[in-house]
Structure 1
Amino acid sequence: MAAHSSGCMGFPLRLLAREVYDRVRAIKGDDAVALITGEERIEPKGARYMCCTAEAMPRDGAGAAFVALDEAQIGADRERGHIFTDHLLNTRGREETMLLGAATLEPLVRQLVPEAEISDRPRFSTLTHIGPRKLSRLPPRSAIVAFSAEQVYGVAEMLRRFRGGAAVVMGALSPETRNKQVALFQNGEVDYIVATDAIGMGLNLDVNHVAFAGLSKFDGVRMRRLFPAEMAQIAGRAGRHQRDGTFGTLAGTNKHGTAPEFTEEEVYAIEEHRFAPLTHLYWREPEPRFDSLATLITDLETPPGDPALRLAPEAIDLATLKRLADEPIGANVRGAGMVRRFWEACSLPDFRQRGADVHARFVARLWQDLAQGYLGADYVAARISELDNMSGDIDTLQGRISAIRTWAYICQRPDWVLARDEMASRARAVEAKLSDALHARLTERFVNRRTAILMKSLGQDAGMLPIELNDSGEVSVEGEVMGHVEGLRFRVDSSARHEDRRMLLAAAEKALPKLLGTKADQLVAADMEGVELARGAIRWKGEVLAELERRDGSIKPLLKPSREVSALPENARNNLMAGLEKWLDKKLQPLEPLEKMHHAASNPDAGSQARALLLNLIAGHGYVTRDRAGIEHLPKEMRPFLRKIGVTFGALDVFAPALLKPAPRQLLNMLGVDRRPLQEAMLPVIKETKKLPSGYRAAGTQAIRIDLAEKILRAAHETRAKAQSKDRRRKFVLDYVLPISIGLEEDNISRLLGNAGFRVQRAKPLPEGQFGPPRPDRWEWRPSRRKQERPTPVKPREGSAFAALADLVRT
């Protein structure tokens, strides 16, 4: 066409017309090319080239030098065939006319257009039948063809789960949505496309394999098996130019779980490209008379005179005309002009696919306004605004797109709508927005980009996966978020479906260790910033780096690396564990007195009594009560040895004062060694709890830190010694300043001192009428000498063997 001075081409799809329009415009310029379809008209003044849908193509070819009709074999289609047949018979170019179509059309062209020159363009690639394949075993770059919306959605959903998703193409989609879905496949974002038989016409795709989910379809009249030529039209999408393709069926798609099968004859016909020729084309009078509605209907139902032609079945436009002609609305349609206009209204395409009755009601409402002249701009704008709504599911948006296509068609008519250009522009804008929303819904429902990316990487070196880890810990592949790294642990993105989680975890385990190894090296270089001891483990950002395993003879535990650390590359793992060992040594310095006790307890020269005491101190994590310490068996000459390593022999407890400070108590709790309730600040005195905190001794309703309790008791003994050096009497007066300054209440002072053998004699109050300072309480030290009470034996149950034995012992 571009080689001629002017040209006009007719296409079966608006999508194809738009594609060729863009190509010709790139060659000839914007002002030289027009696009004319039912819903869109771009007609620059003086345009010499026209790209049209077959229905919108001028019968005279607009007087162009070159005329072409694509997919001319559609003349055999029940619904649209008569339009293509009319162009095949009547539309001619001044210099050249080209009919493009399948070889099955050749005999009819020779019969109807004897002067035509017929040329073949053989297919360069071959098609090969490979039999049925399960969905899980379909090769990449496959197209799956189904013949119902339910089946398309079902297959697409399965592909989303197991293969990352699929593009979806159906005849009900708008061309814009169809283009965007095809782009998903062509750009490689998904490896599969699920489509109806609409894929067989006008879509050039990089498909390697076509799988048929079925071999039967409803053709508007009945369910029937596809013709071999139709099968080949669809299977021919596989392979491009000199790249071979394959075709087959999809296993497990029917009720019994088996696959539909091609017959040997069908396989031969498709592979060898040999099909039965067409025997007829559908025809309908292209220039009926408009004298009256009855005359118009008669002409449209008049059979053709040529035996190669057959009267077209009643299409939706003729069905609508006949329904409305029998109603009162048709009685008022008189005169050639009004009859022609009425026929144009009835020829409105049924984009909504609601059937003849519903469509006829819509046309009747439309005609009420058209009969008066024009549709008002306000009325049309209101109808368009009603459809300007992007909410809803896939079916709802498809319904709105069908409705807006109807109004786009109406607005394109030159004599139907006031402010035609403005209304047409509004309708196209709303259709574009609805198409974008529908594309987004389809992609959201049927495409899991994360899974698609991971499926492409299966079988490849995981190190080659383009995985990225940013500073915030977000893990992504090709811009798609897979999850987050907290510490060195990968957590799957919370929005991922349950069935995707295992795949994401597996991919992370293979591809992340190298990046996490770098992160571990950075942690070591930063002197373990942010690392902490908590709940018996070393943690970073709340995640475990190493578990602490207690060992005999040392306060320093063994480090057991976590699963994530074990998965790091060897060098990074060893570097991190060495850094953790060094960090832990520094962290455990406040526990040096306890470590000395461990060493002393393992020294044979310390003597069994001292070692027994040390083991009791170690078991008590730095302190033990005197009555449990076994101090009565300790030789006096061993006490200096123990004091040298930090042990204090108190009145009530044996302890290491250095281990009663806040830092060592917190460390013992973090290590998981001492799990008793912890007072982080280690206050001198606290309110007693049901469970005595670590490092404290009960004192009535309060608890006091052991080393401070010893300070109070030592001061009491010193006071007693001074008083007895001056006066041989055993009773003395205590000053409460020290215990009160520490925080003990007066009643609780008596409780604490009473535990150490001090007894108080309360002073009598002054007689009534006497004034002066109250008499002080007097104290004396009377250490208790309790005999160890033997436990009361448990009485055996009567009638038992033990009860009989007890009777024998008593006798």
Structure 2
Amino acid sequence: MCAHSSGAMGFPLRLLAREVYDRVVAIKGEKQVALITGEERIEPPNARYFLCTAEAMPKTQGGPNGELAFVALDEAQLAANRERGHIFTDHLLHTRGREETMLLGAATLEPLVRTLLPGAEIVERPRFSTLTHIGPRKLSRLPPRSAIVAFSAEQVYAVAEMLRRFRGGSAVVMGALSPETRNRQVELFQSGEVDYIVATDAIGMGLNLDINHVAFASLRKFDGVRQRRLFPAEMAQIAGRAGRHQRDGTFGTLSGTGGTRDKGIEPAEFSEEEIYAIEEHRFAPLTHLLWRDSQPRFDTLGTLIADLERNPHEPELRAMPETIDLAVLKRLADDAIGRDVKGPAQIRRFWEVCSLPDFRQQGAETHSRFVARLWQDLRDGYLGADYAAARIAELDNMQGDIHTLQGRIAAIRSWAYICQRPDWVLARDEMAARARAVEAKLSDALHGRLTERFVNRRTALLMKSLGQDASILPVTLAEDGNLLVEDESIGTVTGFRFTVDPSADHTDRKMLLAAGEKALPRILGERARTLAAGTMDELVLEKGAIRWLGQTLASIEFGGGAARPVLTPARELAILNDPDKGALIEALERWLTAKLEPIAPLAKMEQATRDAGAGSEARALLLTLIAGHGYVSREKAGLQHLPKEMRPFLRRLGVTFGALDIFAPALLKPAPRQLLKAGGLDRRPLQPAMIPVIAGEGKLPSGYRPAGKQFVRIDVAEKILKAAHEVRAKSGKKRFAIDPSLAISTGLTADSFKRLLGAAGFRIHPAKQLGEGQFGPPRPDGWEWRPSRKKEQRQQPQAPREGNAFAELAKLVR
């Protein structure tokens, strides 16, 4: 083709058209080459070379300069195929190049070509390599670089599962896969990552693989009508994948699968006649081709159906069996939707919609419903870009198992076909690009699911390289925490904890653990040194422990007080050698010292308790404050025992003597409260922002006191109470008015304000309401300070009953 000034080639598969398109682009350049398939169109304005699927190949070839010089049809023997034969027959009979037309196909087509095209020149190309039958082989005895052929998804999955368990896995190729997924699976085999490929008969066309042996798991298939034995030509088409160019190949059957009979795998064997036919390439010639009128009339739907079912006049041609597009047309023609289709233009458009390929493979009934819905949108115009984009977006979901992803790929292929039609969709280029992008993503996801299910790279690696000695493999740690052996993950390292891959079986688990533990002291030692020398910004203090990357490095014990926390290394650090472990612990201690700076007032109080001049009463109060993590109520502080001359000493330590509480204001800020909670010192509920007033729901948070239906921060409450006492002192009266504006500005309600003052000894005298007819601002409430005068009395012990052994001793109690 490239030797001519222009040309076109029709292929049976989209992936073949794409493969040859890439080769021609490398020779002629992108601007000269077009790719036209049912789901993709790349059409440069001045293209001279066209690579097409047979269905997308125009009947009369024409380019920018008139007819094309060269036309070729690949796999022309498919003209006898009961699903697509009429397409190939039509091209074989009518599609011609100006200078040369080439039909590429099996030798079985030769007699029909001589009859239908008497002037055709027949040129044979013999196979360079030979095929040899080697009989049945068990799965465990299959040579490397083998393909196992089955004829249903159940057969394919059953064989692939066995290969995964015993040989490390296989690639999988089925007709239901998208071309992109099929290519990715083929690359898995071609690259040598796996030595086996399990496929349906889709492997027999369009795939050139480095296969040495083809094993048939079965010799029977369902052809759309019935379950039948493969024809010798079909067997040869598949077996011919073995060997390539001048390298010989072998074929045979798969044996020893008795446990899989219930999965559809039955023992199979070739007959002597079939072996002879395959090895010698001698097959019965085709006796007829399948035909359907390629230019039917569009006067009425009845006329169209009659023309499509018309019998050919040539004896070498047979009428095409009912295909899915004709079945859909006949169903919808009898429906209400078909009765409204009238006029040649509308009937032609209706037939084009019915010709939408059934990518879902769900049958005429289901497919006709999809076509009917599509026709409702297309009969009077175009599909809107928003509608098409919404349908594509619904399929842009990479979740699900193999079957689910296959269904989405089939659905997006339908929309890719729809969106590449310029007379169907507005913004065709954009919508087609979106559909192809989603198909590519789904294909990648499906390839990943297939590989995940049917390929155990680690098993293959262990079988090839590991043996019984785990120390001979190079172990490296990836940036994402995966511990790798020759790029295969054997587990993950989070922080300093190694976790073997949970998907590994018991035998592999022991070997992976041995390989990992051999290298971990070196790898984790490097990590410890890097962490100790860095800023340690990723460390967090949480629930009484220092954590890094979600893992505990050391727990914290405050047995010696907040000033002297003790670190206990996590057991994961035991794998480190002593120098690396010591350097890391020393760095953690420095980090913790800096981290605890916000609670320095608490540490200062602890040091004061060891001051001999503090006095026992002051030390007792300090210990109470430390136990309360910075505050204690006056009732529990024991102030009646504290000499007044000791208060200045405590105030210098940052202690405030409030109306209701004794507290250290510096410890009521957000940072120290959060730190006390994270360090495990304060287990009470925490309000992280330490806002002045919060709703009084649930348990009392640390650093707050109740005020009616609200909680108020202790230092804020003291500020409000201090202002109230200043008003009392300034008024010099028994009753006085207190301005609530300060309390309200903090967020306290009027009721909570009254409750807070009441707790501090203030008694309210509500103001009288204005009488009827009186106007002006309301009178302020009156307040009076009447603190409780009750003195704490020590509870007297209960006197022993008479006759008790301690009755006499009780008399001695003063």
Q: Specify the TM-score bucket, using the shorter chain as the normaliser.
A: 0.5 to 0.7
**Does residue 200 in structure 1 map to residue 211 in structure 2?**
no
Q: Deviations over 1:11-59 (max 9, x none)?
A: 0000000000001001100100000000110000110000000000011
What is the aligned partner in structure 1 of residue 349 from structure 2? 341
**Does residue 352 in structure 1 map to residue 360 in structure 2?**
yes
Aligned-partner Cα distance in 2 for 1:88–1:398: 33
What is the aligned partner in structure 2 of residue 380 from structure 1? 388
Aligned-partner Cα distance in 2 for 1:240–1:12: 21
**Does residue 7 in structure 1 map to residue 7 in structure 2?**
yes
- Kindly, what percent of the aligned residue pairs are identical? 75
Query: What amino acid is the match of 1:348?
Result: L
SS of residue matched to 2:137:
coil
C-alpha spacing 1:384/1:543, structure 2 compared with 1 (3 Å): closer
Q: Deviations over 1:700-729 (max 9, x none)?
A: xxxxxxxxxxxxxxxxxxxxxxxxxxxxxx
Shift of 1:453: 2.2
Shift of 1:436: 1.3
Query: What amino acid is the match of 2:2?
Result: A
Shift of 1:112: 1.0
Shift of 1:300: 0.7
Contact 2:412–2:435, Cα closer than 8 Å, also in 1: yes
Aligned-partner Cα distance in 1 for 2:121–2:165: 52
Contact 2:14–2:179, Cα closer than 8 Å, also in 1: yes
Shift of 1:496: 3.6
| 1:493 corresponds to which of 464, 475, 500 | 500
**Does residue 431 in structure 1 map to residue 436 in structure 2?**
no
**Does residue 365 in structure 1 map to residue 373 in structure 2?**
yes
Query: What amino acid is the match of 2:319?
Result: L
Aligned-partner Cα distance in 2 for 1:148–1:226: 14
Q: Deviations over 1:458-482 (max 9, x none)?
A: 8999998666689999863321123
What is the aligned partner in structure 1 of residue 245 from structure 2? 241
Aligned-partner Cα distance in 2 for 1:544–1:468: 17
Aligned-partner Cα distance in 2 for 1:474–1:421: 42
Aligned-partner Cα distance in 2 for 1:356–1:485: 54
Aligned-partner Cα distance in 1 for 2:473–2:310: 67
C-alpha spacing 1:475/1:354, structure 2 compared with 1 (3 Å): closer
Query: What amino acid is the match of 1:218?
Result: F
Shift of 1:503: 4.8
What is the aligned partner in structure 1 of residue 187 from structure 2? 183
Aligned-partner Cα distance in 1 for 2:493–2:43: 57
Aligned-partner Cα distance in 2 for 1:496–1:123: 46
Aligned-partner Cα distance in 1 for 2:428–2:478: 53
Shift of 1:454: 2.7
1:39-50 matches, within 5 Å, as 39-50=39-50
Shift of 1:502: 2.1
Contact 1:177–1:439, Cα closer than 8 Å, also in 2: yes
C-alpha spacing 1:466/1:285, structure 2 compared with 1 (3 Å): farther
| 2:313 corresponds to which of 300, 305, 319 | 305
| 1:250 corresponds to which of 254, 264, 277 | 254
What is the aligned partner in structure 2 of residue 76 from structure 1? 80
Query: What amino acid is the match of 2:500?
Result: D
Shift of 1:248: 1.1
Aligned-partner Cα distance in 2 for 1:135–1:460: 24
**Does residue 276 in structure 1 map to residue 289 in structure 2?**
no
Q: Size of the alignment, in residue pairs? A: 533
Aligned-partner Cα distance in 1 for 2:387–2:483: 53
RMSD, aligned CA: 3.5
What is the aligned partner in structure 1 of residue 112 from structure 2? 108
Contact 2:490–2:516, Cα closer than 8 Å, also in 1: no
C-alpha spacing 1:35/1:460, structure 2 compared with 1 (3 Å): farther
1:679-690 matches, within 5 Å, as none
Q: Deviations over 1:593-634 (max 9, x none)?
A: xxxxxxxxxxxxxxxxxxxxxxxxxxxxxxxxxxxxxxxxxx
C-alpha spacing 1:222/1:470, structure 2 compared with 1 (3 Å): closer
What is the aligned partner in structure 2 of residue 51 from structure 1? 51
Aligned-partner Cα distance in 2 for 1:285–1:92: 18
> Which structure 2 residue ranges, 5 or more long, are not aligned?
527-570, 578-808
Contact 1:201–1:233, Cα closer than 8 Å, also in 2: yes
Q: Deviations over 1:714-769 (max 9, x none)?
A: xxxxxxxxxxxxxxxxxxxxxxxxxxxxxxxxxxxxxxxxxxxxxxxxxxx9xx9x
**Does residue 262 in structure 1 map to residue 270 in structure 2?**
yes
Aligned-partner Cα distance in 1 for 2:517–2:386: 64
Query: What amino acid is the match of 2:451?
Result: T
Query: What amino acid is the match of 1:255?
Result: R
Aligned-partner Cα distance in 2 for 1:470–1:40: 39
Shift of 1:516: 10
Query: What amino acid is the match of 2:462?
Result: L
What is the aligned partner in structure 1 of residue 426 from structure 2? 418
C-alpha spacing 1:483/1:383, structure 2 compared with 1 (3 Å): closer
Shift of 1:495: 2.5
**Does residue 290 in structure 1 map to residue 298 in structure 2?**
yes
Q: Deviations over 1:437-466 (max 9, x none)?
A: 111111111111111223334899999866
Aligned-partner Cα distance in 2 for 1:435–1:544: 44
What is the aligned partner in structure 1 of residue 23 from structure 2? 23
C-alpha spacing 1:348/1:252, structure 2 compared with 1 (3 Å): same
| 2:325 corresponds to which of 297, 310, 317 | 317
Aligned-partner Cα distance in 1 for 2:420–2:520: 61
What is the aligned partner in structure 2 of residue 33 from structure 1? 33
Contact 1:469–1:515, Cα closer than 8 Å, also in 2: no
Shift of 1:259: 2.5
**Does residue 502 in structure 1 map to residue 524 in structure 2?**
no
When normalised by structure 2's length, the TM-score is 0.61
Contact 1:127–1:246, Cα closer than 8 Å, also in 2: yes
C-alpha spacing 1:474/1:342, structure 2 compared with 1 (3 Å): closer
C-alpha spacing 1:541/1:473, structure 2 compared with 1 (3 Å): farther
Q: Deviations over 1:211-243 (max 9, x none)?
A: 111110000000000011101111111111111
Query: What amino acid is the match of 2:273?
Result: E
SS of residue matched to 2:377:
helix
Contact 2:136–2:255, Cα closer than 8 Å, also in 1: yes
Shift of 1:326: 1.1
Contact 1:369–1:375, Cα closer than 8 Å, also in 2: yes
What is the aligned partner in structure 2 of residue 170 from structure 1? 174
SS of residue matched to 1:23:
helix
SS of residue matched to 1:61:
coil
Contact 2:180–2:443, Cα closer than 8 Å, also in 1: yes
Contact 1:454–1:507, Cα closer than 8 Å, also in 2: no
Contact 2:217–2:266, Cα closer than 8 Å, also in 1: no
Contact 1:252–1:258, Cα closer than 8 Å, also in 2: no
Shift of 1:497: 2.6
1:571-720 matches, within 5 Å, as none
Q: Max radius of gyration: which structure?
A: 1
C-alpha spacing 1:40/1:484, structure 2 compared with 1 (3 Å): closer
**Does residue 132 in structure 1 map to residue 139 in structure 2?**
no
Contact 2:520–2:575, Cα closer than 8 Å, also in 1: no
1:547-558 matches, within 5 Å, as none
Aligned-partner Cα distance in 2 for 1:401–1:497: 31
Shift of 1:255: 2.4
SS of residue matched to 1:378:
helix
| 2:448 corresponds to which of 430, 440, 463 | 440
Shift of 1:252: 3.3
Aligned-partner Cα distance in 2 for 1:422–1:47: 21
Aligned-partner Cα distance in 1 for 2:180–2:441: 10
Q: Deviations over 1:237-279 (max 9, x none)?
A: 1111111111111113452886311111111111111111111
C-alpha spacing 1:191/1:65, structure 2 compared with 1 (3 Å): same
C-alpha spacing 1:178/1:200, structure 2 compared with 1 (3 Å): same
